[in-house]
Each structure stands twice: as structure tokens, then as C-alpha cells.
Amino acid sequence: MPKPNLRGLMKARLPDWAFALLSQAGEVADQRSMPAFVVGGFVRDLLLGRDNLDLDLVVEGDGLAFARALGREMGARIKAHKRFGTAVLVFPDGFKLDVAMARAESYRHPGALPMVQPSSIEKDLSRRDFTINTLAIRLNPRHFGELLDFYGGRRDLKAKTIRLLHDLSLVDDPTRVFRAIRFEQRYGFRLDKCTRTLIKGVVTTGLIARLSGHRLREELVCLCSEKEPHRAFARLGRLDLLRFVHPDLRWSSRLERVLRAGEKILERCRRRQLDRTNSEFPPTRIEAWLVPFMALMEGLSAKAVGEVLKRLAFPSRQAAAIRAGHTVTDGVLRRLATHALPRPSETYRALAGLSEEVLLFMTAKTDSRSVTRQIAAYLTRFRQVKPVLTGADLKALGLKPGPIYKTILNRLLDARLNGEVKTEAEERELVKRMVKIR
């Protein structure tokens, strides 16, 4: 029976550069007599009609040699990982392409990193997590676009079903529990009966508790990076999985409300990135997943949050933001709510030094329109304000360096924020009124 061919779908759905890249990869593989494939999430989302340019290539043979040849052909530099026979090609524009040899894996114990050896594409796909992620498309010129479906992935896509590939899948890798929930909620699919039973079994075995903090953290970051993370966390709550983040963590209506509010704010941020004329928030790079993670910590004690941060081993910048989201925001929100019409300098002083993720989380937490307006004003206008005069200017005016510099510059900033001064000349006059200059 001939294999379905997706060449036309690829041509229609992909940007020209991506289609050309896959075509070139097939030609380079042919030159080295290697079968080459694009696999996994890209193929899944192509069939679902979703955009996904996260390209993973697999070749039967020496994956590193293929990666080097393709890198030379395409002008990309290579980052090789010899232990696993994988590489990342980094193109001049920053685009990254993953390349791996087809391989089989074995595990010394549940949750351990795999030991690998070369294998066929069919064996390689057999180690994937779910049937919908086992699809592959051949790239060699004579077979370009041929769909390989050894394990019923296309059937389960049509049936909207998340199905584990084999009964020991969760024993081999317990993080697949979180990925199952993530895909189920992202696509509006359902877990098949056997997968639900296996997940319930893993919950009672303690395998998830044995995961390293790093691996559990990565799965939680992925869940928090979804467009509607509240759906996944609600599902985790129903399956008694939130306790693996912390024993005191529970699903609640309060948590759902803050998560949903955060989702709306982050969606506005995403639209802002596409629409440069929308100035509600300025275009900056943020770690958006931190906002729902802060919401997740909302109902825990400070001690419990500290335990989560230690267990998951967050980098210092992320840990500081999460800690601030938990310990600082309530007090700042009360301070902002004190006056219905605060002076800009009061808003600035309340919010200065807080990360943008913390500010967005505060917007999600508050029900006050006045507070929301203040945070938006700080993000869009106030934090860009600064005096024209500097310490060097104060010295040129004859002022002796010392603590008075900070006092004067802070006063100038407040005056700028509040519209008391608008020009350099007005700043100089204010300085002269503050101190006697001979």
C-alpha cells in the first residue's frame, strides 16, 4: 500500500525558506546514502493545521557527519553532543535545527537519562512518548513527503486521543505524565483509558517524586508556557499530581482566577509584540511562564515556596522573581491602592526595581482599575523617565560629591515625573533652589 505523501501540504503550509531547508537536508542525506526524516511535533502539527517550525531531523546513520555536511552546505555552525549522536545547527539568523541519528534507548533505572545506540527510524520512533508524536516524513528526493506511521499516530490525531506508546512508558520516563496533560489540554484531546490508568498507577508508586528537580522544573516551565495553563493545572489537580510540586499545593478557585487573569494579560503582551502601535505595554523580552508560576505559588507559605525553589533549583534571577511575586506584591498593591489619584512619583517609587514579570503578576492579582492603570503607566511611561542632569553636571555646578547627589537626583526625577520641570534649564533652577551654589 503506497504511503501518503504530504509534499503538497508542506509546500502550502511552510514558509519558502523552511521548505527549501528540508529539501536541501534530503539532498545532503542522499549524497551520503542516508535515509533522512523530519519527525515528531512538526509532523503532528502539520497534520493538525497548526504552525510549528520546531524542526527535528533524524537520519539512519552517522547523525553528526550529516549535521556537519548540512551545516557546511547551509552556512550554519554546529553544536555537537557526541554522547547522544545529536547536534544543533545554528543559522546566521538565529534559527536552530536539531539533528539526531536514529537510535534505540535503554534506562539503568526509572527516571534515569537513557543509554543510546544506533538503530532504524522505526525503532527510533518506538521510543517516543505518545502515538501522535511518532509520525515522520521522509526527506530524500525520491521519497520526499512520504508519511511514515508505524504506530497509529494519524488515527489517534483524527480521534483526538493521547495514547502512550507502551505500558512501561511512564516507568521509563515519569515526566511523560506532565506532557500527556499538556498535549491533552493544548489540543482539546482526551487521554485514552489505558493511559489514564497508567497515570493513576504512577501517582501511587512514587516514581514522580524520584525525578530530579531540573527535569520536573522543565516540565512545569512547559506547562506554564502554554496559552491557557489553568487548564493543565486544573487537570493536574484532579489527578492528584500537584502534590509533586509541593505537598501543600491544591487547586482552588482563587488559583484559577489568578491564572486566567494572567493568561489575558500575557495574551495582550503577545498581541503587543505583533502590533507596535499598541502601547499598553512596551515591547520587551520577558519570561512569560514566570507569571503563571507565581500564581501557582500564591496559596503556599513562604517556607513552602522556599522549598519549591530549592527542590526545582531555579536560576537565581528566576528564583528572585518568584520570591518577590510571593512576598512583595501584596504590600505593594496595598500601597498603590491607598490613593485613587497618586502622583506619578509615588507610583514610580512603589514599583521601581520590580521585574516586569512581577508587575504583570500584580496586574493579574488586583481587582482595582486604579492600580492596573498605575502599573500600566509605570510600564509605558514612568520607568523611562530620568533627569537630564547627572552627577557630572552637579560637580560642574560646584557641588562637592557626597550623599547629597543622590538626594538631588531623586528630587529631580520626582519633579520630572510629576511635570514640575520639563527642561534642563528648569532642572538647574530647581537644583539652585535646593542648595546654595557659590
Judged by DSSP in three states, 436 sits in: coil
Count of CB atoms situated within 10 Å of the CB of 11: 12
Distance in angstroms (rounded) separating the CA atoms of residues 66 and 56: 13
Distance in angstroms (rounded) separating the CA atoms of residues 348 and 60: 59
Give the three cell numbers for residue 24: 536541501
Q: Specify the pLDDT at position 176.
A: 96
Helix (H) or strand (E) holding 322: helix 316-327
Nearest CA among 263, 287, 283 for reference residue 274? 283
- Please give the CATH superfamily to which domain 212-384 belongs: cca-adding enzyme, domain 2 (1.10.3090.10)
Q: Which amino acid is at 80?
A: A
Q: Return contacts of 390-395, CB within 8 angstroms, 24+ apart.
A: 394/431
* CA 204 to chain CA centroid, nearest Å: 29
Q: Where are the chain's structural domains?
A: 7-158, 212-384, 391-434
Q: Specify the pLDDT at position 106.
A: 64
Helix (H) or strand (E) holding 57: strand 56-59
pTM of the complete model = 0.87
Q: What is the DSSP letter of 3?
A: P
Nearest CA among 115, 91, 28, 98 for reference residue 58? 98
Question: What fold does the segment set 7-158 form as a domain?
Answer: Beta Polymerase; domain 2 (3.30.460)
Distance in angstroms (rounded) separating the CA atoms of residues 165 and 172: 12
Q: Specify the pLDDT at position 350.
A: 95
Give the three cell numbers for residue 72: 557546511
Q: Specify the pLDDT at position 282.
A: 52
- Can you count the helices (H) and strands (E) in the chain? 22, 11
CA distances from 264 to 159, 227, 230, 260, 275 (A): 30, 9, 11, 6, 16
Which segments of 90-192 does DSSP mark as H helices, in order? 121-126, 153-159, 169-172, 176-187
Distance in angstroms (rounded) separating the CA atoms of residues 297 and 310: 14
Q: At what angle do helices 356-365 and 369-380 cross, to 10 degrees?
A: 160
Distance in angstroms (rounded) separating the CA atoms of residues 84 and 58: 12
Residue given cell 534559527 in the structure block = 95
Where b means 16+ CB within 10 Å and e means fewer, 380-416 reads eebbeeebebeeebbeeeebeeeeeeeebbebbbbbb
Which residues lie closer than 8 Å to 393 by C-beta, 6 or more apart?
none
Q: Specify the pLDDT at position 104.
A: 78
Q: Which amino acid is at 207?
A: L
Distance in angstroms (rounded) separating the CA atoms of residues 151 and 122: 9
Distance in angstroms (rounded) separating the CA atoms of residues 421 and 430: 8
Q: Is 145 left (phi over 0), alpha (psi -120 to 50) or beta?
A: left
What are the residues facing 58 on neighbouring strands?
37, 100
pLDDT tens-place string over residues 179-236: 999 999 999 999 999 999 999 999 888 889 989 999 999 999 999 999 999 999 999 9
Q: Which amino acid is at 416?
A: R
Give the three cell numbers for residue 324: 518577590
Q: Specify the pLDDT at position 438.
A: 41
Distance in angstroms (rounded) separating the CA atoms of residues 131 and 416: 60
* pLDDT tens across the length of the chain (438 residues): 678 999 999 999 999 999 999 999 999 999 999 999 999 999 999 999 999 999 999 999 999 999 999 999 999 999 998 877 899 999 999 999 999 999 876 666 655 566 667 789 999 999 899 999 999 999 999 999 999 999 999 999 999 999 999 998 998 899 999 999 999 999 999 999 999 999 999 988 888 998 999 999 999 999 999 999 999 999 999 999 999 999 999 999 999 999 999 999 999 888 876 555 455 555 457 899 999 999 999 999 999 999 999 999 999 999 999 999 999 999 999 999 987 789 999 999 999 999 999 999 999 999 999 999 999 999 999 999 999 999 999 999 888 899 999 999 999 999 999 999 999 999 999 998 888 654
